[in-house]
Amino acid sequence: MKIPSNILKQLAAKAKGQCRFSEPMSRHTSFRIGGPADLLVIPADEADLQNLLAGIHKSRIPYMVLGNGTNLLVLDGGIRGVVIKMTAGFRQADRKENTLKVGAGYALPRLVEGSAEMSLAGLEWGVGIPGSVGGALLMNAGAYGGQMSDIVKKVWGYTQSGDRLTLRAAQINFGYRHSEYPEGFVIAGTELEMQQGRRNRIKSAMEQWMSKRQRNQPLSLPSAGCIFKNPTNDSARRLIGVAGLKGKKIGGAKVSSKHANFIINNGGARAADVLKLIGIIKERTYKTIGIELVPEVKTVGEP
């Protein structure tokens, strides 16, 4: 679907934040992969976001929301319409007793570290997980027995038409790497209910888990994190290893030899390479073990 350039220019002219036309999405994803977005907008604040959504709704063009671009594969043909990058204008964070009010663009690693410094427990599991708070809320990020839904009190954001909406945690229907928001909903921020803890214990747990990540994950190479969800009572990493796929390459994409549930960009990888590798992994693990792996990474855009 080709979007008329005059509509995109009108939207950009009304925005207060940064606007970039034909912006390579490889610059905005942890995979370092992805074709161009017709228009990328970084809203300056909530009012700017609200006006942008109202304009998009009136123009009837597609849009998608982006945080720090982790857990995301953008296809080589890029993205038609508008990409709304929720970073610069949404990095506020405030504390009231054990409640944290945090913007969607706040970096999750920074929030984890900051919570530990304030002796607030509940986010230790997030140490070393890249991405933004908004992205973590969308996928219900988690590790080591903890997840975002354990601490979410409420989430606020904007509907497709630009109306502000606040949702209680019970309305979001969180599940394993899953959440349910109204279609087109853009997360602007959240309130998190933390627990008062002991700083030394919190930091000790974080150090142990970060050490485990560094030992077991290819953190120095471009990737989207874990590609597949873990099946019940098993791990995708183990199953892919059993299927003999560690080190498997397609073009510039490679199954990590360090952690088989990571596909890394080994240099010049295209989204098509990653998709082929995902297909091979799904087929081989099903034939070998009889378990069908479900992707955790989100795929967007045009081939």
Contact 189, 101 (CB under 8 A): yes
Note the CATH number of domain 220-300. 3.90.78.10
Q: How confident is the model at residue 1 (pLDDT cuts 50, 70, 90)?
A: confident
H or E segment to which residue 79 belongs:
strand 79-85
Q: Rounded mean pLDDT of 118-143?
A: 96
Q: Rounded mean pLDDT of 81-110?
A: 97
Fold of 5-88: 3.30.43
Q: How confident is the model at residue 104 (pLDDT cuts 50, 70, 90)?
A: very high
Q: How confident is the model at residue 94 (pLDDT cuts 50, 70, 90)?
A: very high
- In 3D space, the residue among 141, 138, 139 whose CA is nearest the CA of residue 126 turns out to be 141
Q: Rounded mean pLDDT of 51-66?
A: 97
Residue % of the chain over a pLDDT of 70: 100
**Helix, strand, coil in percent for the chain, rounding step 5:** 35, 30, 40
Any idea where the domains of the chain sit in the sequence?
5-88, 91-158+178-200, 220-300
d(CA 64, CA 84): 6
Q: Rounded mean pLDDT of 171-194?
A: 97
Mean pLDDT of the chain: 97
The pLDDT of residue 180 is above 80: yes
CATH architecture, range 91-158+178-200: 2-Layer Sandwich (3.30)
pLDDT at 102: 99
